[in-house]
Amino acid sequence: MVSLSAVAIVSAQSTAVKAEASASQPHVGDTLTINIKISNVQNLFGVDVTLNWNPSVLTLISATSQLGVETHPGGVLHETSNYPLEVVDDTASQSTGEYHLLATSTGSASPFSGSGTIATVTFNVASPGPTGLALSSELSDHPTTGGTANLIDHSDTANPVTAVEQGSPSPTIPEFPNATLMTILIIIATATLALSAKLLKNKTSLPIKKAINF
């Protein structure tokens, strides 16, 4: 078993672990899916991942690891019939709002390189508010013969998600009966013509008044 907490750190440029949410503002009553994904990793042999959430906002439905690409295409880590994966912990707690996954390949199984999904966690949105999604992880590489594994340098991020109440229906424009609409149009047209005639009369009579006064 590889001890992920007692190994040195090595660089793996651009490697990232991210908790990707299916929505940034899910409504109360919706289902929210979080895919914990890794990208651009090289020589991966062990994972130690923790996802936290606000249990007053999100209610856990399921947490499913995607370990062993031989049985989970699109997942991470390799295994063989002689060297199966060693899963130390794969548990989720609604009361504490935490999912923890600790696992490693074993023996001569090949290390994993590339991108894939580590686990999928599904929630029901129970109430409005910040979901408190937070991700932390450690990644270890393939140990050399007789040696110890190294930690793989990487970044951890989680999509910010805030649950909202179900939205109210969009306001509708009131509909008028055809007769009422026609009456309104006639009144507007009549008022416009009257105003135009008055302005025209004032304009044409102005020079005449000036001539008489002169």
For residue range 8-22, what is the model confidence (pLDDT) as tens digits? Answer: 444 445 999 999 999
Please check the confidence at residue 83 and state whether its pLDDT lies above 90: yes
The pLDDT of residue 85: 97
18, 76, 198 from 115: Cα distances, Å:
11, 8, 78
* pTM greater than the 0.75 cutoff: no
Half-sphere exposure of 94 toward its Cβ, with a 13 Å CA cutoff? Answer: 12
Q: Is 83 exposed, middle or buried (0-12, 13-18, 19+ CB in 10 A)?
A: middle
Mean pLDDT of 24-47: 98
Q: Are 151 and 7 in contact (CB under 8 A)?
A: yes
pLDDT value, residue 29: 98
Predicted pLDDT of residue 185: 64
Domain residue ranges in the chain? 8-163, 176-214
Higher-pLDDT residue of 7, 112: 112
128 contacts: CB under 8 Å, gap ≥ 6? 28, 57, 162, 163, 164, 165
- pLDDT at res. 180: 62
Q: Which two tokens stand for residue 211?
A: 């001539």
Whether residue 120 contacts residue 33, with contact meaning beta carbons closer than 8 Å, is answered with: yes
Give the three-class secondary structure for 178.
Answer: helix
Distance CA(11)–CA(151), nearest Å, equals: 8
pLDDT at 196 over 80: no
Average pLDDT value for residue range 28-44:
98
Span 62-73, pLDDT tens digits: 999 999 999 999
- At residue 145, the pLDDT reads 78
8-163 topology per CATH = Immunoglobulin-like (2.60.40)
What is the arithmetic mean of pLDDT over 87-92? 98
Asked if 131 contacts 161 with a C-beta cutoff of 8 angstroms, the reply is yes
pLDDT at position 143, please? 87
The pLDDT score that the predictor gives to residue 204 is 46
